[in-house]
Structure 1
Amino acid sequence: MRQLNPLLPETFFLARGDCLCDGAVFPLLPLMNGHLETLLTIVDTHDTAAVTLLNRQMLESLPSTEPLTDLFREHGQKISVDAPVLTPDTLPLSSYPLHRPAVFLDRDGVLNYDHGYIGTQERFDWITGTFAALRRIASSGRHIFIVTNQSGVARGYYSEEDVKSLMDWAIATIRSEGATVDDWRYCPFHPTATLEPYRQNSEWRKPAPGMIQDLLTKWDVRPTDCFLIGDQKTDLQAAEAAGMAAYQVTPEKTLLDWTMELLP
Structure 2
Amino acid sequence: MAVRQAVFLVGGKGTRLGKLTATTPKPLLAIAPDILLLDLLIEEAARHGFTDIVLLAGHLGDSVERLYHGRQIRGATIRVIREPEPAGTGGALRHAAGMLDPWFLLANGDSWFDINLRALAVAPPRDRLARMALRSMEDTGRYGSVELHGRRITAFTEKKAATGPGLINGGLYLLNRAVLDHIAGPCSIEQDVFPELVRQGAVDGRVFDGYFLDIGLPETLAQARRDLPFRLARPAAFLDRDGVLNTDRGYTHRPEQLQWIEGAREAVLALNEAGYLVFVVTNQAGVAHGFYHEADVHAFHARMQTELADIGAHIDAFYHCPFHPDATIRRYRHPSHPDRKPNPGMLLKARREWRIRDRGSFLTGDRDSDIEAANRAGMPGMLFDGGNLLATVRQALAAVRPVAGPLPKPIFTETPAMQAG
TM category, shorter: 0.7 to 0.9
- Partner residue, 1:20: 37
- Shift of the 241–122 alpha-carbon distance from structure 1 to 2, 3 Å rule, reads same
2:284 to 141, 150, 153: 150
Query: Secondary structure of the residue that 2:218 maps to in structure 1?
Result: coil
Task: Write out per-residue CA displacement over residues 58-84 of structure 1, whole angstroms, 9 at most, x where no aligned residue.
Answer: x4699424499952576799652428x
- Partner residue, 1:49: none
- Shift of the 4–114 alpha-carbon distance from structure 1 to 2, 3 Å rule, reads closer
Q: Which has the larger radius of gyration?
A: 2
TM-score by length of 2: 0.49
- Shift of the 21–193 alpha-carbon distance from structure 1 to 2, 3 Å rule, reads same
Identity over aligned pairs, percent: 31
Moved more, 114-123 or 71-80: 71-80
- Partner residue, 2:171: 53
Alpha-carbon distance between aligned partners in 2 of 1:68 and 1:187, rounded to the nearest angstrom: 52
Query: Secondary structure of the residue that 1:97 maps to in structure 2?
Result: helix
- Partner residue, 1:222: 357
Task: Write out per-residue CA displacement over residues 111-160 of structure 1, whole angstroms, 9 at most, x where no aligned residue.
Answer: 00112111102322111211111111111011111111100000111011
- Partner residue, 1:231: 366
Matches within 5 A, 1:185-204: 185-200=319-334, 201-204=336-339
Higher strand share: 2
- Shift of the 95–87 alpha-carbon distance from structure 1 to 2, 3 Å rule, reads same
Contiguous gaps of at least 5 residues in structure 1: 40-51
> For the aligned residues, what is the CA RMSD?
3.9
1:207 correspondence with 2:342? yes
Alpha-carbon distance between aligned partners in 2 of 1:213 and 1:68, rounded to the nearest angstrom: 50
Task: Write out per-residue CA displacement over residues 8-57 of structure 1, whole angstroms, 9 at most, x where no aligned residue.
Answer: 9xxx9958555425446796327979448569xxxxxxxxxxxx73254x
Count of aligned pairs between the two proteins: 241
User: Is 2:112–2:214's contact at 8 Å kept on the other side of the alignment?
Assistant: no
- Shift of the 118–78 alpha-carbon distance from structure 1 to 2, 3 Å rule, reads closer
- Shift of the 147–33 alpha-carbon distance from structure 1 to 2, 3 Å rule, reads farther
Alpha-carbon distance between aligned partners in 1 of 2:365 and 2:357, rounded to the nearest angstrom: 19
User: Is 1:104–1:228's contact at 8 Å kept on the other side of the alignment?
Assistant: yes
Give the AA of the match of 1:145. F
- Partner residue, 1:245: 380
User: Is 1:62–1:71's contact at 8 Å kept on the other side of the alignment?
Assistant: no
Contiguous gaps of at least 5 residues in structure 2: 11-26, 29-35, 45-110, 117-132, 138-144, 147-155, 157-169, 195-212, 399-421
Matches within 5 A, 1:93-132: 94=228, 97-132=231-266
Give the AA of the match of 2:339. W
User: Is 1:145–1:181's contact at 8 Å kept on the other side of the alignment?
Assistant: yes
Query: Secondary structure of the residue that 1:122 maps to in structure 2?
Result: helix
Give the AA of the match of 1:150. Q
- Shift of the 235–29 alpha-carbon distance from structure 1 to 2, 3 Å rule, reads same
How far does residue 94 in structure 1 lie from its aligned partner after superposition? Answer: 4.3
- Partner residue, 2:396: 262
